[in-house]
Amino acid sequence: MKVRVFILSMLILSSFCSAQNENPVNDFIPPHGGKVKAAKNYFVELLFTRENTFIYLFDSKDRKPVNNTGVTGKIVFTDFDNTSSSSDLTAYNNDGFIAKTNIPAYKSCIVSFEIKGVHISAQFDENENMADRKKTDRVKSGL
């Protein structure tokens, strides 16, 4: 009886672990240290600093950065009182985007892009990046 319970427990545990690995975002290490969400055939990396928000797109298959030529985007923040503010994204270098933002806290943030006629979006919730913002500011300022 104990052997059956043990075997059953191991099967359940192994199925749980394999389900965790099925999400490709779990295996993607964001090169800029931001948070990552999957959006159709892309990964969206979101990184806050004190004055700006940086967004990077990656192809989910080869995991390479997506060139930002011809790509448009917008970021929309929803505050805890359900008011919202938005900003258009500006190309940054050849594979990133930047939005001039100074958002101290937010309930949700939706980043959307138009890539070759395809609309994609990713939602980041409840200050997932706020703890990292302080760490990133220290790194960028050399502290």
Name the residue ranges covered by the structural domains of the chain. 34-140
For residue 81, report the phi and psi dihedrals to the nearest 5 degrees: -95, 15
By residue count, the chain amounts to 143
Supply the pTM of this predicted model.
0.70
Q: In whole angstroms, what is the distance from residue 66 CA to residue 57 CA?
A: 5
**Residue with token string 């545990």:** 13
Maximal CA-CA distance, the chain: 63
- Per CATH, is 34-140 categorized as 2.60.40.2480? yes
Written as one letter, the residue type at 55 is I
pLDDT, tens digit, 9 for 90 and up, residues 30-80: 778 888 999 999 999 998 887 889 999 999 898 899 999 999 999 999 988
